[in-house]
Amino acid sequence: MTGDAIRIEGLRKTYAGGKEALKGVDLSIPTGSIFGLLGPNGAGKSTLINILAGLVLKTSGKVDIWGWDQDRNPRQSRAAIGVMPQELNLDPFFTPRGALEVQAGLYGVPKAERRSDEILRMIGLEDKADAYARTLSGGMRRRLLLGKALVHHPHILVLDEPTAGVDIELRQMLWKNVRKLNRERGMTIILTTHYLEEAEEMCDEIAIINQGAVVARDSTSNLLGQLDAKTMVITPEAPPMELPQAAGISSEMRDGGLIALSYNAGETSAEDVLALLHGAGIRIRDVRTEQADLEDVFLELTRSRPAA
Ligand code: ADP
Ligand code: MG
């Protein structure tokens, strides 16, 4: 398949009770990419993922998965996608092998085409193949969820916050597997996260979603270029007569007589900021810097760009 693995147009979801979780999302996800859906808690990431997975019914809009319209070809569109959900939803009385077999059965994968052993190996659960799920550690259960998402050999793998609250080892194992599936099988990967670094490290392209709307969508490198916002916060020896001004540096007073100078680290250096202060005769008693966090980035993006 060339072009887009997923195409979403005008997607809306209002939950019973009136919560508008998605407010008209348009989004295309290129085939073969590792695509990050980034956003704070409550942004609507899981809602979007669960609609793709067929677990949540959309209110309106159009969703194409692997070229199949979700409403007109529900079976084909479901078969194209495997989802590792955010919540652990395993039956405690199944063993890993049993859980994979049942899942394969649900997707109508014939016995001869099942790859339970291969999947167990990949997720590192060969030793636990026949242990009850309730005896598995949290990390093992997560790995099993990944395995379940793969039983029907989907073209598209979706991981909803796969690393929230997991240890470093599991995180690395997950990323290794995900990269491998992407590289060796050309699987399109979609992952949601609220960790900026994670999206940065893993994804070719990123959409940022906030309050049910896509506020930015770009290649990771283009987006990161906009994320260089830094702030230097100064405690001056004496309150200045006026705030120093310079191109590329915006300054404001903060409570307690602090001066906050914001600049883009890609264009302006800390030295430029210090020189500005020096030139304005402001002596520094104390200084600290603030990196833009995701919150700032959202604010910045929602201010400077119309919702896509
Ligand atoms: P995210 O995954 O980005 O944290 P969600 O998609 O889980 O966000 O939630 C988006 C919004 O929809 C939140 O305000 C959440 O409380 C609400 N929400 C999610 N699921 C339901 C539901 N089943 N019923 C009502 N509201 C929901
Ligand atoms: Mg979520």
Residues 6+ apart with CB under 8 A from 281: 240
Distance 227 CA to ligand 2 centre (A): 23
Are 10 and 61 in contact by the 8 Å Cβ rule? The answer is: yes
- Per residue in 226-244, pLDDT (tens digit) is 667 788 999 999 998 889 9
What is the CATH code of the structural domain delimited by 4-224?
3.40.50.300
Ligand nearest to the CA of 21: 1
Three-state SS for 186-202 is: CCEEEEEECCHHHHHHH
Pocket test for ligand 1, best of 15, 192, 194, 215 (most atoms within 8 A of CB): 15
What pLDDT does residue 307 have?
45
Ligand 1 atom closest to the Cα of residue 44 is 6
Helix (H) or strand (E) holding 170: helix 168-185
Domain 228-291: which topology?
Answer: Alpha-Beta Plaits (3.30.70)
Residues 6+ apart with CB under 8 A from 83: 49, 50, 52, 53, 55, 149, 157, 158, 159, 160
Q: Which residues pair with 37 in a beta bridge?
A: 192, 207
Q: What is the domain partition of the chain in residue ranges?
A: 4-224, 228-291
- Per residue in 106-142, pLDDT (tens digit) is 999 999 999 999 999 999 999 999 999 889 988 899 9
The residues of the chain scoring below 50 in pLDDT are 304-308
Distance 51 CA to ligand 2 centre (A): 12
What pLDDT does residue 308 have?
43
